Structure formats: structure tokens, C-alpha cells
Chain A
Amino acid sequence: MKFFILAYKNLKRRKSRSFLTIGGVAVAVAVLVALLGFNAGYQEALTSDVDKMGYQVVVTAKGCPYEAATMILNGEAGLRFIDEDIYNQIISDPDIDKITPLLAQLAYDPGKQGGKGGFTNYLGIEKSYIELKPNVKFKSGGWFSAENANEAILGYEAAESEQKSVGDKISIPDKDITLTIVGIFERTATQEDGAVFLPLKTAQRVFDVEGKLTGIGIKLKQIEKISEFEERLYPIASIQVISMSQVKGTILNLVNSAKILIMSVAFIAIFVAIIGVINTILMSVFERTQEIGIMKAIGASRSDIFKLIWMETLIICTLGGIFGSVIAIFGGNLTELLVRKVMPYAPGGRLLLITPDLLVYSFLGVIIVGIISGLYPAFKAASMRPIEVIRSGE
């Protein structure tokens, strides 16, 4: 029998109390790990989303730039229109490397998601769209046969959820048109995986917005030239230029300020957990006054008792750390679901990035917390004098 066993046996005899304390620590650790993991994951997912988008600059109708940016990232429609002329006007700008016109439209489909209903994004695109997006590749099929063809290309998830393959027909609700699927894109892990792509001209015709666009995606030769480029477009009153890196920064800023708030909640949880640990151990020390006195009387030294009580604290914190990490890893999906619901913009891919590093650091953190919170109760116990206990027993 060693000290560890002794400490363990003592914790075991007050099962529910020990368990609750461990639970408190576990929750605090889980919250911390999940939040830190979310922070890392969100940043990575957002960066990858923005990079995958291909365009560095988007030209849209004037309005709230962040709303517009979020809509573009989400592949949503609802944007205001700009004239196609503007596209023709800026296409010859010397700083532009690649440019593509976009028309995004949204339609409610009552048959979607097995009858539950839902919105489908329709994106009118031209061939230049693929050139701008290096990661968009065909899984099967190919490009539209003509500029005005009644054909569609499906995003990976759109094809998957509707169980469609090349050659199948689809229709747009409330529109008198049938489209033949000519291609399916591979997964890009962006929001556009769920979209239905149409030739730009077809989209303009079907949605009755001929000569209109919702945005123009642009890749500059040198991103540093963006302010000069922006200045040249300034005279066109009806449009605005949005730089995606700016948008990324702004979204991250928003997320960061939310993060600070959540972090303070996490630290409060940890603080409460520490108090809980100290309270539990201290209580058990006071309850065991006689026992500790007996141990001292039969030869336990100050440092023995200190070690014993300290070890109990460490066991609680270690177990709490282990359970907390497990909860964070397996509860991660739940957190992600929740986060996706409340976030103004949630990028594709996994939001929660729990790395071994993160786990190790959180674990070390909780051990240090355990070491610190065990000090006082252990010191208290070690200072008890055996003689008083023996006397009180008389």
C-alpha cells in the first residue's frame, strides 16, 4: 500500500461527493478545451473558406458591406442587383487578373429535406467562375453545352441530398422550366456545396432579371493594389468594393469579442471549480480531524499528511481533466451544432479543432490548478496536532 492508494481509498469512501467535485472540474476543463478548440478551428475554417472562394475582391451593389460579404460567403441570394454594364466597364481594368460575374438567387422548395422544405441557392455563373476557383473540380460530367442552355451543375451536397446524377432532370419551384444536370462538382467544403449552378444567361432569364448581376468576383494581379483599384471604381455610384481579407478580419474581430466574453465565462467556471475542490478537500480534512491525528500518532509526519491530502486534490483534478477532455472531444459535435446556430457566419469544415497540444496544455493547466488548490487544505491538515485529537477522544 502506498500514499496514492491511501488517497484513492479515502476519495472512494465519499463517492458522490468526490464524483460531483470531479464533475465540476470536468465541466470547467471541457468548456475551456471546447472554447480554445473552437477559437483555433473557427479561424482556420474561416481562412480556408475565404481562400477557397478564389476572389479577393467582390463588387456588389451599395449597402452594408458585411451583410453583403456574409451573404457571398454563404452563397446566399437576397443581394441587390447591379447592372451587367458595370461588369463590362471594369473588365478591362489593368490590375485585374481574373474576373467573373455572379447572379445568386434563392428559391423556396417545399419538397426539400424530405418534405420539410427549405431554400435552395441558385447561382448563375460563367466559365470564368471555374478559373477563379482553383479547388472547384468536376466529380462527374462537365460544363454547360451553351451559354443559354437549360442545364444545371450541382454542388456536391446538393447532388447527394437530392440523389441526383448527371443526366437527371430538376425543376425550379414555381418556375416553368426543367433543367438537365450536366455536371456535379466535387466537395469544396464551402457553402457552395449545397448550391445549384446555372449558366448566367439562363439564370437571368429564369429569375426574370435580365442584364442584372448580384456581384462580381475579382482576383487582382497584386492584392496590394487594392486601394488604387478601389479608387478607380469610386466614381461608379451604385457599387461598392469589398476586400475579402478585410471581411475576414472583421468577422474574426466580431468572433474575438464574443470569444472574450465566453472566455471570461470559462474562467469563472474554472474559478468555481477550484473553489469546489478546495471546499471538498477542506471539508474532508475537518471531518477527518481525528483520523489525521491518529495517523500522526502512529507515525505520520507533517509532510506525510501534506502529501496525502495534496494527492487527493491531484487525483480529483487529474480525473476531472481526463473526463473534461473526453467530454470536450465527444461533445464537440454538439458544441459545433450550437455554435452554427448562433454564429452570424459559420464557415464550412470543422469549427472545433482540438489538437493534442491543446489537450496537453489544458491538462497541465488543470494539474497546476490542482497543485495550487491543494496547498491550503493540505497545509491545514498537516498542522493538526495529534495530542489534541487523542485528548478529545478521552
Chain B
Amino acid sequence: MREHIVKADKLKKVYSSASQKIIALKEIDIEIKKGEFVTIMGPSGAGKTTFLNLIGCLDRPTSGKLDILGCDPTKFNEEKLSRIRVEEIGFVFEDFFLISFLNALENVQLPLVFARNYKNNNRPRDLLKRVGLSHRLTHFPNELSGGELQRVAVARALANNPEILLADEPTGNLDTKNAQELFSLFRNLNREEGLTIVVATHNVRLGYSADRVIHLNDGKMEKDERLVK
């Protein structure tokens, strides 16, 4: 059985517009193993989001090799990419990105619709219970607090039982207490269910609560710290 979930080899991403070229990632090599809880830290523009988007199959690299769960997404067409996204990857965003006209439960059910998974009906409820929101099932996003919204988003990300959870600045819009709680939720999901988690964050204190911290700066890997706990 392969050990890694993500393996990037000389991964490069260049954003080009008419006037300029921005090299967001400069040939980085990163390998993330199954069951790891990794945070990616670095200043703005370091390439954190770009990296997450690439391994989340939301974007394609300019060059380099990428291996996600044994697949090479650079060779996939859009239909196949969305297949991987819906089945193997859960995404959590800084701005929550919940669907405003669906309630909490329906938001969590949404990935099941896209996966054509109409049977597994209890999982969304269980997930919301797991994130401590069983009393908020029928509440709409505008009726929930920031911390609650992000927990719904985590539940949604886990709806199809993905192999990997990616979170891009998930605490950016949360207060200290809710940020702390979110990270303990990540910690628990990682410990109890062996979920592989990759979080991009600015928050140094929370960032160091993970097992491994990768420092990016200016599109390059500066440091790769494994924390012994």
C-alpha cells in the first residue's frame, strides 16, 4: 500500500496575465503521508493557497509532477477532476462558502448530491452532531455564528468521507476561542479517524499544534518541521 497521499515533484505554478507573470510556486517537492496533520505557514503571497488549490485539484500546475492518491491529476479532464474533488477531497475555506439558500443540513448533504450518493442519509446528521451542531440542523447560514458556519463547512467537507481535508486559512474569520475549537476539532478528526489534514494558516500558535509545519516563502519551501509530541 502506498504511504503518501500527496506527492509533489518540482511543482511549479505560474499565473500569467497580459502585463505580468507571477511565479506562485517555484518547483517545490513535498510529500504528505496518510494520517498526517500538516500546517502550511508563511506570509501572504508565499504560495500557500496555490499549493492547496493544486493538491485540491481546483487548479492545474504549470509544470512538475503531482501524485494524489496514486492519480496524476494533470492528466485528468475536468469531469475526472471534479470526481476526485467530490470523492477524495474535502475543502474548507476562509470565507466558509456555505450555500445561503440551503440550511445547515442541506449544505452538508450537497456533496452527496454531486456524488450521486442518495442513500447514505444519516451521515450528514452524524457529521453535524460530530461538530457539535445537532441543534442547528435547520438553521440557515445567516442565522449561524462564524464558528458555527465554519463547523458546518467542516461537516460538509467530510460528507463523502474523503481521504484528505484541505483548509485554507480556516480561522481567518474566527475569534481566538472559535479558532482554538476548530483546531481541536481537526486534531480529534486526525487522531480518531486517521484523517489526513492540510491547513494553511497565519496563526503561528495554532499552526504549531499540528504534527508537521511546512514553511513556505516566496514560492519556495523554507523549512519542514516535524514536531515530536
Contact = CB atoms under 8 A, between A and B. Distances in A.
**Mutual binders A and B:** yes
Interface in A279-303: 290-291, 294-303
A341 interface: no
A299 B97 contact: no
Interface stretch (A5-13, A185-193, A322-330): A5-13
B79 A302 contact: yes
A299 B87 contact: yes
B156 A298 contact: yes
Contacts of A9: 101-102, 106
A228 interface: no
B95 A300 contact: no
Interface residues of B, number: 37
A298 B85 contact: yes
A1 interface: yes
B86 interface: yes
B79 A390 contact: no
B74 interface: no
A386 interface: yes
Contacts of B78: 301-302
Contacts of A115: none
A393 B97 contact: yes
Interface in A373-394: 386-387, 390-391, 393-394
A294 B99 contact: yes
B109 interface: yes
Contacts of B156: 298
Contact of A390 (B83, B87, B93): B93
A297 B99 contact: no
Interface string B58-84: 110000000000000000001100110
Interface residues of A, number: 27
Interface in A1-56: 1-3, 6, 9-10, 12-13
Contacts of B101: 9-10, 12-13
Given A1-B106, A9-B101, A387-B59, A301 B113 contact: no
B91 A303 contact: no
A2 B68 CA distance: 29
B115 to A, nearest CB: 7
Nearest to B115: A299
A304 interface: yes
B23 interface: no
Contacts of B111: 298-299
Nearest to B160: A299
A37 to B, nearest CB: 39
A303 B113 CA distance: 13
Of the listed residues B82, B86, B99, B112, the one surrounded by the most CB atoms of chain A closer than 10 A to its CB is B82
A299 B115 CA distance: 8
Interface in B25-63: 49, 53, 56, 58-59
Contacts of A6: 102, 110, 113
B140 to A, nearest CB: 10
A175 to B, nearest CB: 76
Contacts of A394: 49, 94
Contacts of B112: 1
A133 B151 CA distance: 85
Nearest to B110: A298
A311 to B, nearest CB: 12
Contacts of B90: 298
B157 interface: yes
Contacts of A386: 58
Q: Which 10 A-B pairs have the closest CB atoms?
A: A299-B86, A301-B82, A294-B97, A13-B101, A299-B85, A299-B114, A300-B114, A387-B59, A1-B109, A393-B95
Interface of B: 49, 53, 56, 58-59, 78-79, 82-83, 85-87, 89-91, 93-95, 97-102, 106, 109-115, 118, 156-157, 160, 168
Given A393-B97, A394-B49, 8 more contacts: A6-B102, A291-B99, A298-B90, A298-B110, A298-B156, A299-B82, A299-B115, A302-B79
